[in-house]
Amino acid sequence: MEDNWKSIKETLTSTCQEVLGLKKHHHKEWISIETLDKIKERKNKETAINNSRTRAEKVQAQAEYTEANKQVMKSIRADKKKYVEELATTAERAAREGNMKRLYDTTKKLAGKYSKPERPVKDKEGKPITEIQQQRNRWVEYFEELLNRPAPMNPPDIEAAHTDLPINVNPPTKEEIRMAVRQIKNGKAAGPDNIPAEAVKPNCNTMDVRRTTN
């Protein structure tokens, strides 16, 4: 089965590359060289998953990919924070110098970097709490009151659920697999196999889906 799937995967990926070519990635201007190196390392980990020959190798490769992905996300957040801080400094300098064009251009960039402000935590009287420790204490107080309420006087009589539910545990049929494939949304990022949904969906009627999924 594994050899059969590898043959199908190689056929799909090679055909997509030959017909469509490879997408050129245009990285954000604020992404650092260090982050790009981490992204490259993550790509190598992804390739290792696809080249795994045994289940143990695949599990190990997936664990390494997960850790590499965490490092990429952490580095991207740091780069973005630094970029926003630099833009804010540039905007302040432009305002002091009266350089309205630079101020406008910088402010326009900043406008897309801020997320909506979070709703403030409020005390029992409805007054906003700004101090971090007081906010934490308020959350503790809220959940203590919420989760330690007395039991109801007349609890509802809820009938116990049946344990012998008629759940079909048989392997999925070919049509069920094809239906699931057709319901995958287009435009989503490919998984570790690097095969986009658009490449699989048109071929799900001709591929031996049972042999590739069992």
The amino acid occupying position 8 is: I
d(CA 43, CA 37): 10
Q: Is the pLDDT of residue 111 over 90?
A: no
Average of per-residue pLDDT across 117-140: 82
Q: What is the pLDDT of residue 26?
A: 62
Q: What is the pLDDT of residues 16-70, one digit of tens each?
A: 777 776 666 566 778 899 999 999 999 999 999 988 889 999 999 999 999 999 9
Helix H or strand E encompassing 128: strand 128-129
Q: What is the pLDDT of residue 101?
A: 85
Q: What is the pLDDT of residues 186-209, one digit of tens each?
A: 877 777 777 777 877 877 766 655
**What b/e string do you get for 101-120 counting C-beta neighbours within 10 Å, with b at 16 or more?**
eebeebeebeeeeeeeeeee
3-state secondary structure 95-120: HHHCCHHHHHHHHHHHHCCCCCCCCC
| β-pairing verdict for 121-122 and 128-129 | antiparallel
Short-list 50, 67, 26, CA closest to 194: 50
**Residue 207 DSSP class:** S
Average of per-residue pLDDT across 110-114: 64
Average of per-residue pLDDT across 132-138: 86
Task: State percent of the chain over pLDDT 90.
Answer: 18
Tokens of 116: 């909506």
d(CA 140, CA 137): 5
**Does this model's pTM top 0.85?**
no
Q: Which residues contact 49 (CB under 8 A, 6 or more apart)?
A: 58, 61, 62, 65, 192
Q: What is the pLDDT of residue 24?
A: 61
**How far are the Cα atoms of 11, 105, 152, 197, 209 from residue 18, in angstroms, in the given order?**
11, 41, 67, 17, 24
Mean pLDDT of the chain: 81
Query: Which residue ranges make up each domain of the chain?
Result: 28-114, 121-149, 172-206
